[in-house]
Amino acid sequence: MSFFKKLFGRIKDKDIKEPNNIEETQQNNAEIERQKEEARLAEEARLAEEARLAEEARLAEEARLAEEARLAEEARLAEEARLAEEARMAEEARIAEEARLAELVKEQEDTPNVDEEIQQAEGVEPAETTQEDKENVFRRLFSGLTKTRNNILNSVESVLRSFHKIDEDLYEELEEALIMSDFGVETTLYIMDELRKMVSMHKLTDPEDLKVALQTIISTILTAQEVTPIIQEGVPNVILVIGVNGAGKTTSIGKLSNQLKSQGKKVVLAAADTFRAAAIEQLQIWANRSEVDIIKHAEGSDPASVVYDGIAAAKARKADVLICDTAGRLQNKTNLMKELEKISRIIEREYPEAHKEVLIVLDSTTGQNAISQVKLFKEVAKVDGIILTKLDGTAKGGAIIGICQSMQVPVKYIGVGEKINDLQVFDPYDFADALFPIDFSEDELLLEQSRAEIADAQQ
């Protein structure tokens, strides 16, 4: 077959009209070109549409992310505003509460004690402690313990209110509430044990009765330690005040010297915290306020030599009480130990005739931490008693129960404010009453009976 025949045959196969002349062939070619162009344009349009859609999707995603970010920012700002408002309201409440307490204290201080004024005018010494004095002391204690009481009462009462009978679930929730109120785990378990015993001993069934029972157990814990007075009559006394820095040593010494002075005692202070000049100045201010003598050396001098001079001055001036302030820094325990040992040695050697009392000052706002501080200082010195400060500023006063229960060191004084009169001799019964105020008459009887029974059982 000739070449043209083959070609024509194939064209025929493809149903293309056979060109019958050159012009037709040209037309066919043009048609092919047109179709190609059309296909190219269609492809171009398809790609353009695809790109447009992709761009549209990208823009939509961008808009969605921007909206998401805007909403998140809006939520963040709203949360920030809410927290700021909460903080503002809490601060306002704190200031209002502070003002209320300050007003209360001022009212008490401004109330003229007519009896005392008449007695003084007549040259009669005021009676040692009147019923009114006692009531004022209790009121101060009651007011100082407000935060702790609210903390304990709110949680205990909300548990008691939510039960109609005394059962395991109640015990469990009460246990949790006491732990949350800073009683400490060990002490809480002890209290719960005692509570179960009392419930079965008195056949208690009403959850409300548990409040009286709790108060009984708490005051029993608080009174378990024998509390001896910090000073003895007829002999010279030395009080060594120790504790971590900021606990309230210097302030408590200032308040204590004022009390002792007003009881007619001759007091000398020894500024044995020579760690920084401000500590010496602070004690000097308290000495001026209480009008008592102070022995001080320069900043950085040997604390034991201040105590040595303090003893010499106390002897020479026939002082009843020498109170030694000490540094509380614990960064270097070995140094602290050596320093306290050296001071104790000087006191033993130079003042053997004196009654010695080592008091540890604990900041109640540190809660359970106070217990580890006692443990630490007991390694260094024989601790005779505790001054527990700042009970007024904390909700963690419940820690005192744990301290008494586990430390075998009696609490002797408590600080319920920054004023000169805000250091109180610790009265465990008053403390328990101020912590769990119960308006009772018959219950009081039960309370007293229970105290006696527990005391009997412990003997």
Ligand X SMILES: Nc1nc2c(ncn2[C@@H]2O[C@H](COP(=O)(O)OP(=O)(O)OP(=O)(O)O)[C@@H](O)[C@H]2O)c(=O)[nH]1
Site stretch for ligand X (CB under 6 A), options 16-24, 99-107, 395-403, 415-423: 415-423
Site stretch for ligand X (CB under 6 A), options 30-38, 44-52, 149-157, 386-394: 386-394
User: Quick check: 418 binds ligand X (CB under 6 A)?
Assistant: yes
Residue closest to Mg ion when measured from CB atoms:
250
Query: In the complex, what is the shortest distance from the CB of residue 333 to ligand X, in angstroms, rounded to a whole number?
Result: 15
CA distance linking residue 245 with residue 265, whole number of Å: 28
Residue 215 or 282 with smaller CB distance to ligand X: 282
Q: What angle do CA 448, 179, 435 make, to 5 degrees?
A: 40
393, 398, 410, 428: residue in contact with ligand X (rule CB under 6 A): 393
Q: 321: which strand partners?
A: 237, 267
211, 249, 296, 412: residue in contact with ligand X (rule CB under 6 A): 249
Sheet holding 267-272, edge to edge: 293-295, 267-272, 321-326, 237-242, 355-363, 385-389, 411-415, 423-425
Q: Which residues, 222 to 261, sit near Mg ion by CB under 5 A? A: 249-250
Residue 249 or 451 with smaller CB distance to Mg ion: 249
Residue 367 or 417 with smaller CB distance to ligand X: 417
Chosen from Mg ion, ligand X, none, partner binding at 247 (C-beta under 5 to 8 Å by type): ligand X
User: Quick check: 155 binds ligand X (CB under 6 A)?
Assistant: no
User: Quick check: 236 binds ligand X (CB under 6 A)?
Assistant: no
Residue closest to ligand X when measured from CB atoms:
415
CA distance linking residue 150 with residue 156, whole number of Å: 10
Query: In the complex, what is the shortest distance from the CB of residue 308 to ligand X, in angstroms, rounded to a whole number?
Result: 21
Chosen from ligand X, Mg ion, none, partner binding at 415 (C-beta under 5 to 8 Å by type): ligand X
Output the six-digit token pair for 358. 């080592």
Please report, as a single letter, which amino acid is at residue 123. G
User: Quick check: 364 binds Mg ion (CB under 5 A)?
Assistant: no
Site stretch for ligand X (CB under 6 A), options 6-14, 102-110, 351-359, 416-424: 416-424
Query: In the complex, what is the shortest distance from the CB of residue 286 to ligand X, in angstroms, rounded to a whole number?
Result: 9
* Residue 267, CA distances (Å) to 175, 238, 296, 305 in order: 46, 10, 14, 19
Query: In the complex, what is the shortest distance from the CB of residue 120 to ligand X, in angstroms, rounded to a whole number?
Result: 29
Number of residues that bind ligand X (CB under 6 A): 21
Q: Which residues, 345 to 374, sit near ligand X by CB under 6 A? A: 361
Query: In the complex, what is the shortest distance from the CB of residue 162 to ligand X, in angstroms, rounded to a whole number?
Result: 34
Q: What is the dihedral of CA 347, 350, 353, 354, to 10 degrees?
A: -30
Cβ contact 253:283 at 8 Å: yes
User: Quick check: 243 binds ligand X (CB under 6 A)?
Assistant: yes
Q: Which residues, 303 to 332, sit near ligand X by CB under 6 A? A: 328
Chosen from Mg ion, ligand X, none, partner binding at 246 (C-beta under 5 to 8 Å by type): ligand X
Query: In the complex, what is the shortest distance from the CB of residue 211 to Mg ion, in angstroms, rounded to a whole number?
Result: 39
User: Quick check: 279 binds ligand X (CB under 6 A)?
Assistant: yes
Cβ contact 426:413 at 8 Å: yes
Name the CA radius of gyration of the chain, rounded.
42
User: Quick check: 108 binds ligand X (CB under 6 A)?
Assistant: no
* Site track 276-305 with Mg ion (rule: CB under 5 A), x = hit: ---x--------------------------
Output the six-digit token pair for 412. 């002797």
Residue 188 or 250 with smaller CB distance to Mg ion: 250
Question: Beta-carbon neighbour count of residue 14 at 10 Å?
Answer: 6
Chosen from Mg ion, ligand X, none, partner binding at 418 (C-beta under 5 to 8 Å by type): ligand X
Chosen from ligand X, Mg ion, none, partner binding at 126 (C-beta under 5 to 8 Å by type): none
User: Quick check: 274 binds Mg ion (CB under 5 A)?
Assistant: no
Number of residues that bind Mg ion (CB under 5 A): 3
Query: In the complex, what is the shortest distance from the CB of residue 449 to ligand X, in angstroms, rounded to a whole number?
Result: 35
- In the numeric block, the tokens 């005391």 are attached to 455
108, 113, 119, 245: residue in contact with ligand X (rule CB under 6 A): 245
Binding site for ligand X (CB under 6 A): 243, 245-251, 273, 279, 328, 361, 389-390, 392-393, 415-418, 422
Binding site for Mg ion (CB under 5 A): 249-250, 279
